[in-house]
Chains A and B, each alone.
Chain A
Amino acid sequence: MKRNLKIFISIFLVLVLSIVLTACNPVVQSGNLPQGDSRSASGTSDTSAGTKTEQGTDKGSTTREKVTLRFSWWGADTRHQATLAAMELYSERNPNVRIEGEYGAFATFHQKLLTQLAGRTAPDIVSVDYKWTHDLIKQGSPFVNMYELTDKIDMSGFDLNFAKIYGGDDNYLIGLPAGVNGMGYLYNVEFLKKFGIEPHNEWDWETVIENGQKVQAQDSEKHLMYNISEHWVYLVKTMLKQINGNTLLNDDYTLGFSKEDITKVFTYIRRLVETGTVPPFEEGVLYENVYADQNPNWLNQKFGIFPTSSSLIPGIAAASDFELDVFRYPVPKDAVDPGILVTPSMFISIYEYSKYQDIAADFIDFFFNDEEAILILKDTRGVPANEKAKELLVREGLIPKQVADMVSQSLTGAGIAENGPSLNPEVIALLKDYIQQIGFLKITPEEAAEKFMQELEALAATLK
């Protein structure tokens, strides 16, 4: 009997321990568990919502149940605060709905999203970058087709033709574009003035070099501009489009350029480094994955021009304590295609396995069309792609001049759209590698051109 008691007590203790340890697991983000588990920290979904098996066919306003939606996005502080404020406004108007934000930096967003999609734990409303839409659609795209929601969301202000360039095709639209982004040159007004450089909208690639040399001649510690790793890729793609009107890879995964074309581009990159127009790669490589607002060289005015996309301007401006302005990205007079990259800033999509698709659609309608929401969100996601929103903001003077200017400047030189093959991450990694080798002066442009083409062809063949 004593023996049995001992066994019983030990089993009991072990069970208690296991339960206590597992139940005390901190739930990192509320709503992490897909089916509205009643243990989730959101605590606002009661058991009846948890046991619903229909796919979100109840609108939150008709049933009086409390629901919690999750919305994920990336960005800087200005965007986070604005989005949170808009979400609160929606909750005030619809007291039974609570929206929770999952936000952070862009760098890790993609991988997190993929993991969430694999584990079926993605948020109800997801931000999707135009670079990922091709891959996502190819691999089964778990997002609701926006064309099917025209009765729930007012899409009259959207140019759906623009949206479908990157977001799908005639039959499927992955999400609604939140804003328009254009590439351009953001510059430090004082810096350019000090070195006697004229910012205007007719620069071409030779102007860049000339001015780069001008800066170096006056102060060898300073450089004209700095390109982050992503931007070198844009530079190559844009130059190629200007030379031959084509994307990096064709839709059938064959090379979209000739050896001559790519040698020209690589030679130009080498010249940028040799003339000191950009800082030596040894110096610059540390900051190649962050934007100007986190680059001490920009903040300390060691270089004057930061090529960027318009949506990043508010974040950079907030960190810079000097005057900023913009001018158009270089386009040679004889360019076949002006090539400037104009893209949707992000797509707002509804996750296919969300339990509250209707409420999500209602929130998205509010997000894009409600005047108060537009005024809160302003241009934190770029100049709005929705015409009505854009006009409202322009009327109220809420779009910073630089952002609006950069977008209109880029639109005057908008290039052909990027395609899926050219946006493949392995292709980009290969290109970045070669740019680095050229930048570190380890390889000549001609050698680089030949090897790059060989490797790219081999890689593209495996990606078909």
Chain B
Amino acid sequence: MVSRKVLKRSARRDIGSQGYIYILPWIIGFLVFQLYPFIASFVYSFTDFSILKPMSYVGLNNYIKMFTADRLYWKSLSATFKYVLIAVPGKLMFALFIAIILNMKLRFINFFRTVYYLPSILGGSVAISILWRFLFSKDGTVNVLLKALGIPPVDWLGNPNLALGTMGLLVIWQFGSSMVLFLAGLRNIPSELYEAAKVDGAGKVTVFFKITLPMLTPIIFFNLVMQMINAFKEFNAPYLITKGGPLNSTYLYGMMLYENAFAYLKMGYASAQSWILFIIIMLFTALAFKSSPYWTYYEDGGDF
């Protein structure tokens, strides 16, 4: 009996350390490429680090300057918030809509599912951004279609009021990953619920709001958090399509960071900005988590 106990304990210890060895490559990658830059940027944010000059300590100057003396900071922040408000709900709603359609039992439905996932794969590339520019220019395809309907052409990307939405469209168009998750969630809804609803004579709308949506809330929550984090960090779309856009209307936070770091050579300042963005994202994510028990429903009670 004693020997069995000893064997068990050492066997457990064995498995534990073996595990660490297996994930060692990832640990090394994390330490070198994520943890170190993370801490380094925090340190840089208190200096005036610039790529070509040696750095000196400036304390909280960067943070103070950001909020009081940077003429574009608040514009950029408000543009980013507006963008998140457009892109995230837009993407989720669209993804859910397409997922519901793709959940139907049609022939070749798998083919359609693949096709509708394609935009996500193509999405952030330079080619698509250039394509977007051409689609939405004054004589672009969209305006040609509008003309056929008798509507005068619109400056989708040139008008400061419209540019942000048009750019958001590109991101909404890449709804693939959210859609796949919604699809999986839809298939997990037990069909007894639908049958019971049918028996009770509920209409399609009622079924959607009383059964589908509540059962999907965990997925909605997950997608909300992920897409929100991505939207706050958005850089590709403004950089490739509008370069900050007409009158800085699409000058998102990510783009401002980039310009400060690489165009104006103010790495320390950009590091400070990136930490503020980190704090903002943390706040919103924490808010989402805190509010989740009130609106998400987990079939298994919610404990992992």
Interface set of A (CB-CB < 8 Å, partner B): 3, 6-7, 10-11, 14, 17-18, 21, 110-111, 114-115, 117-118, 135-136, 139-140, 281-286, 289, 296, 425-426, 429-430, 433, 436-437, 440, 442, 455, 458
A140 to B133, CA, bound (A): 40
Interface centre among A11, A285, A430 (most CB of B within 10 A): A285
Given contacts A437-B247, A455-B71, whether A111 and B21 have CB atoms under 8 Å apart is no
Asked whether B22 lies within 8 Å of A14 as measured between CB atoms, the reply is: yes
A3 to B13, CA, bound (A): 12
Asked whether A114 lies within 8 Å of B247 as measured between CB atoms, the reply is: no
Q: Which residues on the A side are within 8 Å of B242 (C-beta)?
A: 286
Asked whether A136 lies within 8 Å of B52 as measured between CB atoms, the reply is: yes
Given contacts A289-B243, A296-B137, A425-B263, whether A140 and B52 have CB atoms under 8 Å apart is yes
Q: Which residues on the B side are within 8 Å of A296 (C-beta)?
A: 134, 137, 139
Given contacts A115-B262, A117-B52, A426-B264, whether A284 and B158 have CB atoms under 8 Å apart is yes
Q: Which residues on the A side are within 8 Å of B25 (C-beta)?
A: 14, 17-18, 21
Q: Which residues on the B side are within 8 Å of A429 (C-beta)?
A: 259, 263
Q: How far is the CB of A12 from chain B (nearest CB, A)?
A: 10
A18 to B23, CA, bound (A): 11
21 contacts between A and B (CB under 8 A): A6-B18, A7-B18, A10-B18, A14-B21, A18-B24, A18-B25, A114-B262, A115-B262, A139-B52, A139-B53, A139-B265, A140-B52, A281-B246, A282-B246, A283-B138, A283-B155, A285-B157, A286-B133, A296-B139, A433-B247, A442-B247
A6 to B18, CA, bound (A): 9
Any chain A CB within 8 A of the CB of B160? yes
Q: How many A-B residue pairs have CB under 8 A?
A: 79
Interface of A is mostly: helix
**Which 9 pairs, one residue from A and one from B, show the smallest C-beta to C-beta distance?**
A139-B52, A282-B158, A282-B155, A118-B51, A111-B262, A285-B158, A285-B246, A282-B159, A18-B25
Besides A110-B263, A117-B51, A430-B71, 4 other A-B contacts (C-beta < 8 A): A10-B18, A111-B263, A114-B262, A282-B155
Q: Which residues on the A side are within 8 Å of B133 (C-beta)?
A: 286
A428 to B143, CA, bound (A): 33
| B245, closest chain A residue (CB) | A285
Chain B residues numbered 1-56 whose CB sits less than 8 Å from any CB in chain A: 14, 18, 21-22, 24-25, 50-53
Given contacts A285-B246, A289-B243, A426-B264, whether A139 and B155 have CB atoms under 8 Å apart is no
Any chain A CB within 8 A of the CB of B248? yes
A442 to B243, CA, bound (A): 20
Given contacts A285-B158, A425-B264, A426-B264, whether A115 and B18 have CB atoms under 8 Å apart is no
Q: Which residues on the B side are within 8 Å of A18 (C-beta)?
A: 24-25
Asked whether A114 lies within 8 Å of B265 as measured between CB atoms, the reply is: yes
A135 to B52, CA, bound (A): 10
A379 to B1, CA, bound (A): 91
A385 to B28, CA, bound (A): 52
Asked whether B22 lies within 8 Å of A10 as measured between CB atoms, the reply is: yes
Q: Which residues on the B side are within 8 Å of A11 (C-beta)?
A: 21
- Taking a contact as CB atoms closer than 8 A, the residue among A10, A139, A140, A430 that contacts B21 in the complex is A10
The interface bits of chain B over 117-133 (1 if a CB of A lies within 8 angstroms of the residue's CB, else 0) are 00000000000000001
Asked whether A286 lies within 8 Å of B18 as measured between CB atoms, the reply is: no
